[in-house]
Amino acid sequence: MTEESRIKTNSLKAWLLAARPKTLSGAAVPVMIGAALAYVDARQYDGDVFSWTAALLCLLFAFAMQIDANLINDFFDFVNGSDDAETRLGPRRACAQGWVTLNAMKQAIAATTCAACVIGLPLAWYGGLEMILIGALCVVFAFLYTTFFSYEGLGDVLVLVFFGLIPVGCTYYVQIHDMTWEVFLASVACGLVIDALLIVNNFRDRDNDRLAGKKTLVVRLGPEAGLQLYLGVGVGAMILGGTFWLNGHLLATVFPLLYFVLHVFTYLRIKRTYQGKALNLCLGETARNIFIYGLCVAVGLLLA
């Protein structure tokens, strides 16, 4: 009996697969870094400045938006014909496999979008009404990523913004009500690290994406440039990490060297594998590397 036949339509297992819980580490890392930066800087103020409730709300909002984006991606990629169950190289998708019906997926997208808004709304109490605008942008671009930006090779830009600048910066802002160059550069570095996941995903799917008219950056630049881009985002993150050293957080610069070593090893594996489903192993390694980066930076900041 195949895996597909064992999964009942709209069952709990089907929804767990559709939610892609393994991707939640990518949502957690920016919040970890933003919260660590805020916790360290809060020490210079008198009183209890850092709010664990606000930090938890940021994390839960990030999780809800990640699941929402996954469901949106699952639905629209299938509807647009870029998710073919027969030719797909990546992990199987719920709509394409028939595990979740299209109508049920529409309802789930509406539910997770509303849930994210409800979770994020209290952040306006901590960070001001501008948090409502930020939340609205997150929801809008969760739809625009799959329906437009990813097809035009602009997905990497959105990763930098919505997995770097916004989550790191806003997690810090709701605590300190300020922004610094260290936070800005740390958020860009975080976005670069997480973009590696999109790059290896697009590198694996480059032939199918080209046939589907999906002009990702790897499709536009070619596979060799895509490989160098994967290596380059890791290098860029390490260079930007030097800002921690300049601000007296030496360990936050040194600890991520572990991430970079693993990133290089994964790059070499991608280069050797080059194509096919075997690249899914590299996708898993990249997700692991991202989490290790976030952990190394956060711990390095807290121990400084």
Using one digit for the tens of pLDDT, what is the confidence trace for 180-199? 999 999 999 999 999 999 99
Specify which of 22-31, 75-84, 239-248, 265-274 reaches the highest per-range mean pLDDT.
Answer: 265-274
Q: What is the pLDDT of residues 242-264, one digit of tens each?
A: 889 988 889 999 999 999 999 99
Are 24 and 66 in contact, with CB atoms under 8 Å apart?
yes
Q: How many CB atoms lie within 10 A of CB 110?
A: 12
* Residue 81 scores a pLDDT above 80: no
Mean pLDDT, the chain, rounded, equals: 91
Does residue 110 or residue 97 have the better pLDDT?
110
* pTM for the predicted model, two decimal places: 0.92
Q: Is the pLDDT of residue 3 over 70?
A: no
pLDDT of residue 262: 98
Helices marked H in 128-165 — which ranges?
130-147, 155-160
Residue 175 has pLDDT above 80, yes or no: yes
- Report yes or no: 166 and 188 within 8 Å, Cβ to Cβ: no
Supply 104's token pair: 């049920």
* DSSP 8-state code for residue 162: I
* Exposure letters 212-248 (e unless 16+ CB within 10 A, then b): bebebbbbeeebeebbebbbbbbebbbebbebbeebe
Residue 1: predicted pLDDT = 42
Percentage of the chain lying above the pLDDT 70 cut: 94
Predicted confidence band at 208 (pLDDT cuts at 50, 70, 90)?
Answer: confident
Q: Can you tell me the distance from the alpha carbon of 108 to that of 94, in angstroms, rounded to the nearest whole number?
A: 12
Give how far the C-alpha of residue 274 lies from the chain's centroid of Cα atoms, to the nearest Å.
23
CA–CA distance, 218 with 85 (Å, rounded to integer): 22
Q: Cα–Cα distance between 297 and 121 in angstroms, integer?
A: 28
What is the average pLDDT across 6-16? Answer: 88
Residue 269 burial (10 A CB sphere; 0-12, 13-18, 19+): middle
Question: pLDDT (tens digit, 9 = 90+) per residue, 280-296?
Answer: 999 999 999 999 999 99
The percent helix, strand, coil of the chain (3-state, each to 5) is 80, 0, 20
Tokens 């933003």 appear where? 34
Sequence-distant (≥ 6) Cβ neighbours of residue 249 within 8 angstroms: 40, 300, 301, 304
Report the pLDDT value the prediction gives residue 63, as an integer from 0 to 100. 97
**Token pair of 67 as six digits:** 């699941």
| Each residue's pLDDT tens digit, 133-159 | 999 999 999 999 988 888 888 999 999
| Amino acid letter, residue 200 | V
Stated as kind and residue range, the H or E segment containing 31 is helix 24-42
